[in-house]
Chains A and B, each alone.
Chain A
Amino acid sequence: MSPPEEELVLDRLIHEPGRLAILTVLSSVRDADFVFLQRATGLTKGNLSSHLSKLEEAGLVAIEKRFVRKKPNTNVALTAEGKRRIARHWEQLERLKNLSEAVDLGEPRVSS
């Protein structure tokens, strides 16, 4: 007997496009600074800052503030929980996409 299908629930905190972009970029590196994240996601400084605050509060990213060449530099990395949650979120989106394709390929409904 196959195990029951896991419930398909999207993580609302992560599903917001800006936060999804930030976490996806971070999932491909060990850490990155604020400027790189801004470049890679195309978010404004204010938006990126606000999203990072929310992600840090939720324990999905770890933020280190430091000085490089006497200028403030914010370095960001995914936490273990962040890695788990973003991987699971993309799995859920893939499942949703496959489900949608399966419905599209199914028999057309006949209305009476």
Chain B
Amino acid sequence: MQRRDLETAAASYSYLRGLLFIPLGGLFILAALGNWGVGPLRHTWAFFVVTVALGLVYLLINRYYVENYGRLSPSNRQQVRAGVAVAIAVAVVLGGSLLLRSRADWSLDLPVNALAVTLALVMLISYGVGVGLKAHHLIVWGALLVTGALPVWDGADPSNIGLVLAGVAVMISGVFDHRVFVDTFGPPKALHREDGDVAA
């Protein structure tokens, strides 16, 4: 490995544990289905149960990564950067959605899918700054950006369709991120670990 690969190993570990994005994408889709009142999801309790199930799936996937790839604590600088990035991302998605299309007086009221556009932009910037854009990021998030920016979203509120599209994009991007992760750190059982590790 080169110096840069070694120095960015921690960032790759944090960004590319892509399977964690599958329950997150599921949450996006669940939110849309709940808003539409599909089947039992029209009941609050059903929505809550599925959300908890997705949370458990997230924890199991996280455990898989910790057991097979270890754990690390980011440096203070990285933690501050991550906190600032999340705050900016939330502000961009909320502010951008209000600016592009909302009932606010100052809204541009464009016939676009504001959620899809803003989320795609945030993800492209986030990956670009964090680990560098891979081909699948450009394809998946670029496709979401273009789809959301097409002037065909006039009429009914496109927020729920935006949530479904975003959920699918998050899941697909996550699967490809995981492939890059395995290419970088090796297949899960490659270490032939016994019980735990070997202390120095």
Contacts and interface: CB of A to CB of B under 8 A. Distances in A.
B69 A36 contact: yes
Contacts, number: 105
B8 interface: yes
Contact of A31 (B6, B73, B196): B73
Chain A interface: which size bin? Answer: 35 or more
A27 B71 contact: no
B7 A24 contact: yes
Interface string B1-28: 1010011111101000000000000000
B6 A38 contact: no
A45 interface: yes
Q: Among B11, B71, B200, which residue has the most Cβ atoms of chain A within 10 A?
A: B200
Interface of A: 21, 24-25, 27-42, 45-46, 48-50, 52-53, 56, 63, 65, 71-74, 76, 90
Interface of B: 1, 3, 6-11, 13, 68-76, 78, 185-186, 191, 193, 195-200
19 contacts: A28-B10, A30-B75, A31-B72, A32-B10, A32-B72, A33-B197, A34-B70, A35-B69, A36-B72, A39-B70, A40-B185, A41-B1, A45-B191, A49-B198, A49-B199, A49-B200, A72-B196, A74-B199, A90-B3
